[in-house]
Amino acid sequence: MLNVDTIKNGLVIDHIKAGYGPKIFSWLGLDKADYCVALIMNVSSKTQGRKDIIKIDNIINIDYSVLGFIDPNITVNVVSDEKIAKKITLSLPEKIENIIKCKNPRCITTTENYVAQKFKLVNKEKAEYACEYCDQIHSAGTDF
């Protein structure tokens, strides 16, 4: 059995869809961290079958809306003195900006680099977002 030490003060990003851990780890810049971090992949889960977990022995600023876009089932545990002080549950954000790029080759965001990539949630059940400029549909999580 794998043994990863408990963290004293930091964050545990849990219930990450299996295989998404490395993308989130990289997006957070944890590959360059000078504090203890752990990426644990393919952990057995009763509800998900398999999941990834990221442990960060430090309190860092995270854009929770981006994590919610990647996978709204993620939970973030804030750890203080080796105990969970706060549990944050995520959801799909209503809007996202500069997280994904529009796939439409005719969209202004594709041809003009200065235009922000803006998307709005249009179908919560299917986790679909539409480009605010051309209405191209993108799926949360899969287009990250």
Q: Residue ranges of the domains in the chain?
A: 10-89, 95-139
CATH class of segment(s) 10-89: alpha beta
The two three-digit tokens of residue 18, written as one number: 């299996």
Mean pLDDT of the chain: 91
Tell me the fold of 95-139. SH3 type barrels. (2.30.30)
Interval 71-125: pLDDT, tens: 889 999 999 999 999 999 999 999 999 988 999 999 999 989 899 999 999 999 9
pTM score over 0.85: no
Provide the pLDDT for residue 40. 94
Confidence of residue 51 (pLDDT cuts 50, 70, 90): very high
